[in-house]
Amino acid sequence: MRFYPTIFRVVFSRMDPEKAHHIGFRAIRLAEKTGASAMLRRISAPSLGLRRTVMGMDFPSPFGLAAGFDKEGHGVAALADLGFGHVEVGTITGQAQPGNPAPRLFRLIEDKAVINRMGFNNSGARAVAPRLRDAAPVLSKRFGAVRPVIGINIGKSKAVELEDAVEDYLVSTRELATHADYMVVNVSSPNTPGLRLLQSVESLRPLLSAVQEEADRVAARRMPLLVKIAPDLADADIDEVAALVTELGLAGIIATNTTIGREGLLADPSKVREIGAGGLSGAPLRARSLEVLKHLRRVLPAGATIISVGGVSTAEDVIERLQAGADLVQGYTAFLYEGPLWARAINKGLRKALVNGVSLTPAG
């Protein structure tokens, strides 16, 4: 069960991180196309006791895959076969764009972390839409009524000015809302110039209002809509976003995105400086992400959804987030280090915790 860390150390750790990601993802998709992942689907399926209803939807497990791994909807079914309770696709933009120049993905192996400045590289909402349209029927056929949930994460095209951001988000909304179980407005990546300025309530209110209205219209239902925030926000700013989410009646908040901070790293500081700008994810984000989760649970209404992400590696991490008030938990960076059986290991750990009487909800 622990063979992948050896493969990572011997093979992938010596390879350019972005190339390694593409190879690994292609292998996962090939396993699905050839039928080999059917065995993985059987052994990785979450136990029935892990099912939970969030945002009016049944999730087979509280643990899912965060946006960033499957940026363009190429492998939703393949990733679902690995045991994730939901797969969040994106970030997708209104316009196709290549992202930032390479190299743009860097490992900090000592920290079980990654720095990226990918820049929302994707083929654009119109090209992604057919892939997502085809994914849900496949999941329903394979998993039945309680299938893995599909989230769609949308962001601003780099070429679009901030004053035109709302319409740019609406381009993606029109193309993608029909195919989403839930949607996420990403205003917190550090890799698109000016994007984080949209986290101010003055900018966020018209954006979220417009996306919610358009998503509801296109999907012909109330679309569960969340906003993804940065861990670098001050608590007062988090309070303002939480109040806005409550005011607009949105589904909730995803906390948190990557950080621009570099504190407490084990990696050689000169190496970190050489890498330069980008968002840091992985284990070093754990403490702040948990802190933001606890803060949000105090200030948001009980019915508001919080999806916690950042520094999640083990079943114990997932349990900690659920007990702290998260409705769902996501991971991504640890997937790169732990490999294709990672979700299975977490689901197995969650099931063991339930058998041993450990609660997967907040005390009291």
Active site residues: 189
Euclidean distance between CA atoms 346 and 214, whole angstroms: 36
Read off φ and ψ for residue 65, nearest 5 degrees.
Answer: -95, 125
- Determine contact, residues 282/243, Cβ cutoff 8 Å: no
Q: How far is CA 114 from CA 9, 107, 266, 334, in A?
A: 15, 5, 13, 9
Euclidean distance between CA atoms 82 and 28, whole angstroms: 9
243: CB partners within 8 A, 6+ apart = 201, 299
11: CB partners within 8 A, 6+ apart = none
Q: How far is CA 220 from CA 48, 180, 213, 217, in A?
A: 31, 12, 10, 5
Helix, strand, or coil (residue 307): strand
Euclidean distance between CA atoms 85 and 330, whole angstroms: 9
* Surface-to-core class of residue 4, CB atoms within 10 Å of its CB (0-12 exposed, 13-18 middle, 19+ buried): middle
Return the structure tokens found at 310.
């950042």
Q: How far is CA 109 from CA 126, 183, 266, 274, in A?
A: 36, 32, 9, 15
Helix, strand, or coil (residue 348): helix
| Residues in the chain, total | 364
Helix, strand, or coil (residue 105): strand
The dihedral built from the CA positions of residue 317, 18, 173 and 175, taken in this order, carries a sign that is negative
Other Cβ atoms less than 10 A from the Cβ of 2: the count is 9
